[in-house]
Copies of this chain bind each other. A is one copy, B any other.
């Protein structure tokens, strides 16, 4: 059986990147590796749309979120956490572990925090040192209006910390233009790499707070030390996952060759097609507004997503994601980012049609795939 990985991270890794991972081991403290690292970080500036330094970490994206908070905010400081799902909650959990006071602005799963809610929170808590948000909330598929959030936060002394782990590269994310002070991402989403690396683009307003922080609760995650090391030696303070960096250059070449705007336009079409297919299958689109990194469908009444996903995997080799925690069984999450293209989406819709049909929940073979096809055909007509 041919296997298809369609989860919102890890995502499939291009064949040429996989082969790069099989190349012999190298030492990391050499001019050649420093050059390679510099090139990768420069390519990431392109993906981030930033002139700010990009800091690499060997960790999951959560490690980079902790690095941001621990480096900027001393214990006892106050932070506004915009919470629309599991990863917004993670910002709050990190605050709690670091003795930072978290002010929660919470919306029900499937909805987005609005700019008005943030404006009110900033008014109510003028002493807040940072605002934490997700770009793509991977647990629900919702998109946050980071451009609007950035405008509001830029007018205050606070900094905006954005978890763009599943969003960067597939959704528009103009780090500098949108005043994102720290933008976090991970390797295993749109960047088409295995997990193991995380990155932060850190701007001047954040560096000023980091420099002034009398008590950064970090050693491995100390951003000041990481920046100093990169500036003075071109190197990381601790051994980095150097073969992942080497492979990442290959995946980044794919991004540069296609062009960021082309990728985002293409994946926006694929997201629209996936949504059309899900609706045709009788699912609702769970998030409002939905983002272009993944499509999250709410199951029709009486249909258990766990059963659907199990049959889809065992019978057709397709791995989509279930809901997490209390969303389990209620939603299906289909990724369209990185090395997942439109023909992977149509395959997924084809598989879902068959499984829904076999389970007695669908009786119009071809309806969902046709709905997706119409989106792409329309795009071709209009030059997409």
Contacts and interface: CB of A to CB of B under 8 A. Distances in A.
4 closest A-B pairs by beta carbon, nearest first, are A196-B241, A22-B22, A97-B219, A194-B243
A239 B334 CA distance: 18
A220 B10 contact: no
Interface of A: 3, 5, 7, 9-13, 18-19, 21-28, 30, 58-63, 66, 93-94, 97-99, 186, 188, 194-196, 215-222, 238-244, 319, 321
A94 B93 CA distance: 23
25 contacts: A11-B25, A13-B24, A27-B319, A27-B321, A58-B59, A58-B195, A58-B196, A59-B63, A61-B239, A62-B219, A62-B238, A63-B220, A94-B219, A97-B219, A97-B222, A98-B217, A98-B219, A99-B215, A194-B241, A194-B243, A195-B240, A195-B241, A195-B242, A196-B244, A241-B244
Contacts of A11: 25
A10 B242 contact: yes
A24 B239 CA distance: 25
Contacts of A22: 18-19, 21-22
A63 B219 CA distance: 8
Nearest to A186: B239
A26 B9 contact: no
A90 B61 CA distance: 25
Contacts of A244: 194, 196, 241
B26 A10 contact: yes
A93 B219 contact: yes
A380 B24 CA distance: 31
A98 B70 CA distance: 12
A10 B24 contact: no
A244 B244 CA distance: 10
Nearest to A196: B241
Contacts of A220: 59-60, 62-63, 66, 221
